[in-house]
Amino acid sequence: MPVTALSIKPNPPAAGPKGRGTGRNPPNRFEATRTEVFDDGWERAGKVEEAAKPPTTLIRDATRRIITRNDSPDLGFETSVNPYRGCEHGCIYCFARPSHAYLGFSPGLDFETKIVFKPDAAKLLEKELSRPGYKPGVIVLGSNTDPYQPVERTLALTRGILEVLERFGNPVGIVTKSAGVTRDKDILTRMAAQGLAKVHISITTLDPVLARAMEPRASSPARRLAAVAELAQAGIPVGVMAAPMIPGLNDAELEAILAAAAAAGAANAHMTLLRLPHELGALFTDWLQTHLPERAAHVLSLIRQTRAGRLNDSQFHSRFQGSGPYGALLTQRFVKAARRLGLDKPGRSLELSRFRVPGGADAETRQLTLF
């Protein structure tokens, strides 16, 4: 039976910060105590206006290491770099929100407004790539928070990282939902010509109204598709992530998203199911009840059907695709549509043989430089 995309128009919230995914700031799971903000009637009007437009605060990260390693069987990469922690895009569904708790912040509004940045990211990366023990591998940007969130326009940390990777000939994979990736088209075009770069752009919905409600500061769906086309025309391998698919909310658009991606020039596509770890379950539930109260119970019910009765499944091998009849049907729909549109190709592997330490020995003999 064909699936028809629904027209879902979120209600504007009665109150909440403009341009933010959530107005809530729930305590993180590591806090022993919690505080509640309440209006005692003495607040000045200016304070109310300030609360309605919470500013972004940039916090310097003094980390001395920049490359993160993982051994997850669900991920197709082992190393990643995240120049930012927290994300201004404010996507209410973002699985990275709970990671802000490790910094002592809330996964709610804090995640969108307290952005921890790594000013020495490029220097730290150069240092780690130059170490004798470094083994070349694909470094992924955007595995946690978006490397092209709005503040990148000013800080240009991601561009600095790409400049280092280009000099060393180290391959890079990028995941983003921002058209801002096209600002670095010059570097990516040169790297792609050597088999050193590929990009995946996340497209959650084609409906600009729903997108504005779910991901308030991310690029519009139209701009993301335009970015796919621009990168593809420049010879940069680009795929699309139909992610996350949210049962009963945007999953009816799956085939339409893939068709639009193929028309724009995407080489391949992937899909993941909504994940709601830790504090994110309550945040997403609150968002549904605020923006789509008439659909909230139905959406949550369908999510539970794909997660064995829960809102989240953290198990390897099932956390990205879900389970149960509804999850299986969604996977089947993706596989069928991707095959029909020619988006089921894995794409060529990135080159590891071009890695060189500038001005030093190559990857196989550079340990001799210690002597």
pTM: 0.87
pLDDT at 12: 59
Q: Is residue 34 part of a domain?
A: no
Q: Domain range for residue 119?
A: 49-346
Structural domain count of the chain: 1
Amino acid at 77: F
Q: Is residue 241 part of a domain?
A: yes
Average pLDDT score over residue span 293-320: 85
Q: How far is CA 354 from CA 124, 167, 184, 195, in A?
A: 21, 10, 21, 9
What is the percent of the chain with per-residue pLDDT over 90, rounded to a whole number? 71
- Tokens 């022993």 locate to 32
Q: Could you give the CA distance from residue 272 to residue 141 in angstroms, rounded to a whole number?
A: 18
Q: Is residue 267 part of a domain?
A: yes
State residue 247 phi and psi, 5-degree precision.
-55, 130
Q: Could you give the CA distance from residue 84 to residue 108 in angstroms, rounded to a whole number?
A: 16
CATH no. for residue 109?
3.20.20.70
pLDDT at 4: 46
> Hey, how many other C-beta atoms are within 10 angstroms of the C-beta on 151?
18
pLDDT at 358: 92
pLDDT at 1: 38
Q: Which of 332, 344, 201 is nearest to 267 (CA)?
A: 344
- Joined together, the tokens standing for residue 358 give 């500038």
**CB 13 within 8 Å of CB 92:** no
pLDDT at 8: 64
Q: Is residue 304 part of a domain?
A: yes
Q: Is residue 354 part of a domain?
A: no
Residue range 200-240, pLDDT digits in tens: 999 999 999 999 999 999 999 999 999 999 999 999 999 99
pLDDT at 370: 33
- Joined together, the tokens standing for residue 163 give 């400049």
Q: Is residue 131 part of a domain?
A: yes
Q: Is residue 13 part of a domain?
A: no
Q: Is residue 246 part of a domain?
A: yes
pLDDT at 354: 96
> Hey, how many other C-beta atoms are within 10 angstroms of the C-beta on 361?
13
> Hey, how many other C-beta atoms are within 10 angstroms of the C-beta on 81?
26
